[in-house]
Amino acid sequence: MNVKLSSGSLYRAAIVVAAAWIVHSFIEALLAACVTAIASWPLYRRFRERCIPRAGSSVGAFLFTLLMVAFVLAPVVFAAGAMLTEMHALLVGIAAADKSGIGVPDWLPDVPVIGPWIAARWQHEVARPGALMTWAQRTDPASLLSWAQSLGLFMARHALIVGFAVLVLFYLYQEGDALALEVRRVLRDALGPRAEGYADLAVRAVRGAVNSLLVVGLVDGVACGIVYAATGVPHAATWAAITGALAVIPFLGYIAVLALAFQLALAGAAQTAVVALVLGWAVLVCGDKILRPLIAGTGVRLRFVWVLIGCLGGFEALGLVGLVIGPVVLALAREMWKQRVCVTTLQPAERDPSPVADATPMIR
């Protein structure tokens, strides 16, 4: 097969490659803004039509962007602040107890298999007055400085991503209608009559994945709050809010429950710590492995295992925004495979050029 490339095709390909190379550092911000705009577009359109019908598109886009930023970032900021407050109180308590020596908890020697060994090490390393302070003084300052620099760079990078995502989100709200028409036109030229169906499938997949994030965080927070209150955990509502906010991201909710159990164990409430840890993790497992794929799958018609793979694989590749992008990509791949199989098995007169029967515009 002979492939002939014109100078115009090479020029366009070079422009696309150069543009991709320039914006590749901001791909997470662009994807996050696009996901947020697509998922919230019905709400934005109602807000624009009912709340400020006489205001310009820029005013409506600006106000709704502020609302979305508050809605998305407020739970995360609250969870981080509450977790830091609890950890600060825990560290202060440990520092005060270290002055007189932190005795071995009564329940620790009774832990099967490893309990006696840990208790002996505890008695030798921690029970002496000032043992933790001595251990902290032996820590290499260069390692601490390197860790602090890495943490600072991590926070600065993600703050930059959030800032650019907010800026792009405002632009998408402002120019969303025109952009949707342009994207549909380009897709139609590239894919033919199947473009509308693929676009509709992608939109439904994005909204289903976003809904799964919100529902999982809310359900996990409420369920863990009930568990914490029933087991007598102090500040149960605060810990439930922390767990629910962090449960939006896979595996972070487990860290919140583990931190709570650790705090309870140091306070001497070993039974409460174990019950809270087991039941809290059980709630999170149900949310991550059952509830999240079920809700995300309603918009993409994927089986449980593929939604789960899409969420976890997307999170590994792209971070938080990958929780949404992963199932969307697998849904589109499934639809392309399904169409390919149908095209090769059906007679020419029976072939349907559209991948989705109820094809609708890209943003509704």
pLDDT in tens, 207-246: 888 888 888 888 998 999 999 998 888 888 888 888 888 8
Is residue 356 assigned to a domain?
Answer: no
Please choose, from the candidates 256, 320, 249, the residue with its C-alpha nearest in 3D space to the C-alpha of residue 288. 249
Of 2 and 114, the structure prediction assigns the larger pLDDT to 114
pLDDT of residue 226: 92
pLDDT tens, position by position, 188-203? 887 777 777 878 888 8
Of 64 and 88, the structure prediction assigns the larger pLDDT to 64
Is the pTM above the cut of 0.85? no
pLDDT digits (tens, 9 = 90+) for 66-124: 998 888 888 777 777 777 787 777 777 777 776 777 777 776 777 777 778 887 877 77
The 8-class DSSP code of residue 358 comes to T
Which pLDDT value is given to residue 136?
Answer: 66
295 falls within a domain: yes
Question: Are the CB atoms for 237 and 226 separated by under 8 Å?
Answer: no
Tell me which of 97-101, 135-139, 328-332, 358-362 is least confident. Answer: 358-362
pLDDT digits (tens, 9 = 90+) for 246-282: 888 777 788 889 888 888 877 777 788 888 889 999 9
Q: Cα dihedral sign for 303, 309, 311, 317?
A: negative
Q: Is residue 131 part of a domain?
A: yes
Q: Which of 58-67, 254-263, 307-316 has the lowest mean pLDDT?
A: 307-316
Nearest to 272 by CA among 237, 233, 238: 233
Instruction: Quote the domain boundaries for residue 252.
Output: 27-350
DSSP 3-state of 2: coil
| Reported confidence tier of residue 1, pLDDT bands at 50, 70, 90 | very low
**Tens-place pLDDT, residues 130-172:** 777 776 666 666 776 777 777 778 778 878 888 888 999 998 9
Q: How many Cβ atoms are within 10 Å of 301's Cβ, its own excluded?
A: 16
Task: Supply the pLDDT for residue 282.
Answer: 92
| Count of domains forming the chain | 1
Per DSSP, 361 falls in state: -
